[in-house]
Amino acid sequence: MTIDEEFEISRKSWALREAGKVEESRALAKTIPMAPWMAKVFKEKKGLDFLLGMGWNMSAVEEAYGKEWLEH
């Protein structure tokens, strides 16, 4: 996903939030790939189940650390 695509999703997410559609806003925002460094912090501090339960797009994490990293 390009930075422009991420920005557009973020813009749409904020518009939904401003319209009072908080859950829709959160769901859309979570389609933006989580930064690998952020996933690493969550995994170390809260555990893998917590990280995966957050519902974020993990494509960038998988690309950076490999699919196995998200399984163990």
Q: Let me know if 13 is exposed, middle or buried by CB neighbors in 10 A (0-12, 13-18, 19+).
A: buried
Report, as an integer, the average pLDDT of 19-47.
Answer: 98
Rounded to an integer, the average pLDDT of 56-72 is: 97
Query: What's this model's pTM, rounded to 2 decimal places?
Result: 0.85
Give the per-residue pLDDT at 70. Answer: 96
C-alpha 53/C-alpha 47 separation (Å) is 10
Planar angle of CA 54, 59, 30, nearest 5 degrees: 40
- Local confidence band at 49 (pLDDT 50, 70, 90 cut-offs): very high
Which two tokens mark 32?
């933006």
Question: Which residues pair with residue 57 across a beta bridge?
Answer: 33
Average pLDDT over residues 47-56: 97
